[in-house]
Structure 1
Amino acid sequence: MDRPYDGLAEKLLFSKEAADYLGISVQRLAVLTKEGKIIPLKKNSSGTIYHIDELERRKMELSIFSSGQVHPENGRKGEMFRIDGPVRNEALNLAVVMNTLHVSEKKACSLLDSLDRRTACEPLLDDIQSWQELLNIPRTSIVNEYEKARDAFTSLHATDEIIRLGNPDYPVLLARTDEAPRFLYLRGRIGLLRDIRTVALVGSRQAGDEGKRNTERVARILGANGIIIVSGLAKGIDVTAHRTALDNRMSTIAVIGTNLNQYYPHENMEVQKQIEHDGLVVSQFSPATKTERWFFPLRDGVMSGLSQATVVMEAGETSGALKQAQYALKQKRLVLIPQNVFNIPTISWPAKFEKLGAIRVKTPSEIIDVLSTHKVYRLDRPKSDLSYNLFAEDDLIVADAVPEYEV
C-alpha cells in the first residue's frame, strides 16, 4: 500500500530550482509570486518552497503564450496577440524603458532613438548588453521589467493593432500635431482611421438633461451626414454621443485615457465593448502602463488631433473638455460652441473661447454649414432657410453631403 507522502520530496523545489524549471530568473519568480500569479507551498525567513504541480500550471500558461493558442477573450479561437515585427517590438521596448526608469514617453523615445534602429526594434533580450548600457541598471531589473511588459502585451486581443507615427497607416490628421504619440493601440474597425470626416463631441461628466438631448441631436445629424462621432467614453456627454451613434448604426471612435484592456468608468464597460465590435477604440497607452490621472489630459490632445472639429456641448469653468478645446485651437482645428451654452449666466468660458477663435452655432444643421465653409465637408446644395433657435428638434434636417478631403 502506497504511503500518502511517497515521492513528495521530488515535487518540492526551492526558488532557484523553481526558476530553472520555468526558465526564468529568480527575481522574475519573486515578482510573479508577489503578484499572486504563482502560489508557493511555503514561504518564511528560511526560503520559499514551490510544488511542481503549481509550477507546471504556470509553465503551461507560458507555453500557451508562445505557441499561438488563444489567451482568454483575446481574439479569434486559436490565435493570440503576437509580439512580432519591428513596430510591436519597439512598442514593447518603449514600455519597458518608461516603466524601468519611470519617465515620460518623450524622454523614453529620446533614449530609444539613441540606439541603432535594429536594436530598438528587435526583442530586447536579443541584445541585453546594449540595453543595460543605455539604462544603466542591473541586467536582472531589465529582464524582470521586460517579462512583465511582455505578459501584459500578450493579453491584448489577437485582432488588436499597434501603429507607429511615421508609418503610412498612422492617421494623417493626428500626425500633423505636436500631441501625436509614437504608438497608437487599436481595437475594432481600424479602417475608420483612414476617414478624416471626424468631429469630436465633448462636455461635462455631470451633464444635464438639456446637454444630453442636444448631444443626441448633434450626433444624429452629423452621423446621418457620414461624419464619424469621436468622443472619450467618459460619463455624461461622451457616452451619450457614443450611444447615439451606436443606436443609429453610425460610426464612432472612442479615444480612451487608459490602455485597451481597461474599462473606465466601469459603468461604461458595455458601451466600450460594443464600440470594440461596431466602432473603434483608440489608446496611446501600452497594456504594460499603469494608468495615471494625468493620462486623461494627454488623451484630450490625441482626441482633438484625430478630429476636424471639437464641439463643446456643455461644460463648467473647470471641465476637462475645455482642455481639449485649447488643444484644438492650438492645432488649428475648429472649436464649436452651441448658442445655449452662451446663455448660461454662471460661466464665462464660452465668450473667452469665442474671442480666441471658437465659433458659435445655433443648430446641429449649422455645424454642417461651418464644416462646409471651412472646406472640411461640402454640401451639394444649400439647405432651406431655417429659423435658428438654439437646438430645436425640428431643425434636424439632414443635408445631402459628400466628403471634402482637402483639409
Structure 2
Amino acid sequence: METKKLFILAHCRGMSNQIILKLIQMDPTLQIIDELNDQHWNHYFKLSNEKIKSFRADYESIDVNKLLKKYDDEKISFLPLTNVLYPKLLKNIADPPPFLFCKGDLSLFQLKKIISIVGTRTPSKNGIETVEKFIKPLVREGWIIVSGLAKGIDTFAHKLTLENNGKTIAVIGGGFYHLYPKENWRIAREISEKHILLSEFPPATIPQKWHFPLRNRIISGLGLGTIIIQAKKRSGSLITAHQALEQNREVFAVPGSIFDENYAGTNELIQQGAKLVTTANDITEEFDQII
C-alpha cells in the first residue's frame, strides 16, 4: 500500500473509513485516486460536489513530509492496516480502521493477553471497588487493560492499572490535540509515554458525539473479551458489549442490585447470554486453552 497517499487521505475532508477501505480494495497502491474524476467520486462513493471540492483542496495542499516530521517530533506514529505492528485482533473485525494514530509502546499490540473494561461515567463506590477487584489480579497475571479514557469506570480502569504497575491502552474519540475529557490530560500523557494512547482520527480532530460509537468498536476489537462494570440501559458501554458480540469476542458482565440503575444494563446483558462474573478467575478461565 502507498503509505503516503493513505496518510494524505487520513487528513482529507469527505474521506470516511468506508470510502478509504473501498479505495484500498479497488487498488491497494491507491494510484486510482489520481485517475478518478468528479463523476467517479459521485457515482461510486456517493460524494456530493461540495465534498469532492473539499477533498481535492485538501489532497492537493497537504505537505506530507512537513506533517510527518511534525508527528515524528511529537512521537505520533501513523499505523496503516497493512503495517506488521497493527493490532492483529483489530485487523480481523468487519470494519477495521484503515489506519491508527498512536503514541507509546506499540509492541503491546503484539501481546495476546489483552482485555477491555468499560462502564458507567457515574460509578458508585461499589463500582469503583469492583474495578479494583478485577484489575489487581488481571494485572498480576500480565493482562493489558484497554478502556476509553472516559469519566468514571474507564478512568479508574486506567488509573488502577497504572497504580498496580500494569500496562494499559487508551482509545480516544478525537485527536490527540483535543483530549476529552480535558481533566484526563495527565493520565493520557503518562499512558502515551510508556503504554499506548490511540485514535483513528488525526491529531487535530475535535471529538464529535458520533465518534464515540466508532471508538467503542476499537475498544472491543483490541481485546479477547470485554468486561462491563456498571452500565445503564442504552449506554455507550452496552454499545461496546454488542459490538464485542458482533466481533465474536467474549462479553463478561458484573451483576448488581435490581434497584440500582447502574446495573440495569449489565443485568440485561446477563439475561441475553453474557457470562456473569464475580472474580477475575471467572474471566481468565475462558482463555486457558488459547493463551
TM-score between the two structures when normalised by the length of structure 1: 0.62
Of residues 314, 317, 325, the one that matches 2:241 is 325
Change (3 A) 1:217 1:301: same
Aligned match of 2:31: 119
Larger Rg: 1
> Could you tell me how far 1:261 is from its partner in structure 2?
2.9
Higher relative contact order (CA 8 A, sep 6+): 2
> Could you tell me how far 1:180 is from its partner in structure 2?
1.0
* CA distance in structure 2 between the aligned counterparts of 1:141 and 1:304, rounded to whole angstroms: 31
- Alignment check: 8 A CA contact 1:149 1:288 kept: no
> Could you tell me how far 1:156 is from its partner in structure 2?
2.4
Letter in 1 for 2:10: A
Change (3 A) 1:115 1:316: same
Is residue 125 of structure 2 the alignment partner of residue 209 of structure 1? yes
Mean alpha-carbon deviation: is it higher for 143-152 or for 164-173? 143-152
Change (3 A) 1:334 1:167: same
Of residues 233, 240, 247, the one that matches 2:149 is 233
Structure 2 counterpart SS, 1:156: helix
Is residue 94 of structure 2 the alignment partner of residue 182 of structure 1? no
Aligned match of 2:160: 244
Letter in 2 for 1:200: S
* CA distance in structure 2 between the aligned counterparts of 1:356 and 1:234, rounded to whole angstroms: 26
Is residue 76 of structure 2 the alignment partner of residue 164 of structure 1? no
1:6-405 alignment runs, 5 A limit:
86-87=2-3, 89-97=4-12, 99=13, 102-111=14-23, 114=26, 117=29, 119=31, 130=35, 142-144=56-58, 146-147=60-61, 150=64, 154-158=69-73, 159-339=75-255, 341=256, 343-344=258-259, 346=261, 348-372=264-288, 375-376=289-290, 404=291
Mean alpha-carbon deviation: is it higher for 233-242 or for 286-295? 286-295
* CA distance in structure 1 between the aligned counterparts of 2:125 and 2:234, rounded to whole angstroms: 20
- Alignment check: 8 A CA contact 2:116 2:219 kept: yes
* CA distance in structure 2 between the aligned counterparts of 1:157 and 1:174, rounded to whole angstroms: 24
* CA distance in structure 1 between the aligned counterparts of 2:69 and 2:177, rounded to whole angstroms: 11
* Structure 2 unaligned residues grouped into runs of 5+: 42-48
- Alignment check: 8 A CA contact 1:205 1:237 kept: yes
Letter in 2 for 1:147: S
> Could you tell me how far 1:116 is from its partner in structure 2?
7.3
* CA distance in structure 1 between the aligned counterparts of 2:217 and 2:56, rounded to whole angstroms: 31
Change (3 A) 1:344 1:335: farther
- Alignment check: 8 A CA contact 1:246 1:278 kept: no
> Could you tell me how far 1:354 is from its partner in structure 2?
2.2
* CA distance in structure 1 between the aligned counterparts of 2:194 and 2:168, rounded to whole angstroms: 8
* CA distance in structure 1 between the aligned counterparts of 2:119 and 2:174, rounded to whole angstroms: 19
Once the two structures are aligned, what percentage of the paired residues are identical?
Answer: 28
* CA distance in structure 2 between the aligned counterparts of 1:141 and 1:305, rounded to whole angstroms: 29
- Alignment check: 8 A CA contact 1:156 1:261 kept: no
* CA distance in structure 1 between the aligned counterparts of 2:184 and 2:260, rounded to whole angstroms: 31
> Could you tell me how far 1:141 is from its partner in structure 2?
7.2
Structure 2 counterpart SS, 1:234: coil
* CA distance in structure 2 between the aligned counterparts of 1:211 and 1:140, rounded to whole angstroms: 46
Structure 2 counterpart SS, 1:186: strand
Structure 1 counterpart SS, 2:229: strand
Q: Which structure features the higher share of helix residues?
A: 2
Structure 1 counterpart SS, 2:176: coil
- Alignment check: 8 A CA contact 2:172 2:197 kept: yes
Structure 2 counterpart SS, 1:202: strand
* CA distance in structure 2 between the aligned counterparts of 1:238 and 1:336, rounded to whole angstroms: 16
> Could you tell me how far 1:149 is from its partner in structure 2?
7.5
Q: What does the per-residue CA deviation read over 1:175-227, in whole Å, with 9 as the maximum and x for residues that have no partner? A: 11113111011110110000021111100111111111211221111001000
* CA distance in structure 2 between the aligned counterparts of 1:140 and 1:302, rounded to whole angstroms: 28
Q: What does the per-residue CA deviation read over 1:117-165, in whole Å, with 9 as the maximum and x for residues that have no partner? A: 2636xxx9xxxx6466665789897345653585765542433222222
Q: What does the per-residue CA deviation read over 1:38-93, in whole Å, with 9 as the maximum and x for residues that have no partner? A: xxxxxxxxxxxxxxxxxxxxxxxxxxxxxxxxxxxxxxxxxxxxxxx932x13322
Aligned match of 1:56: none
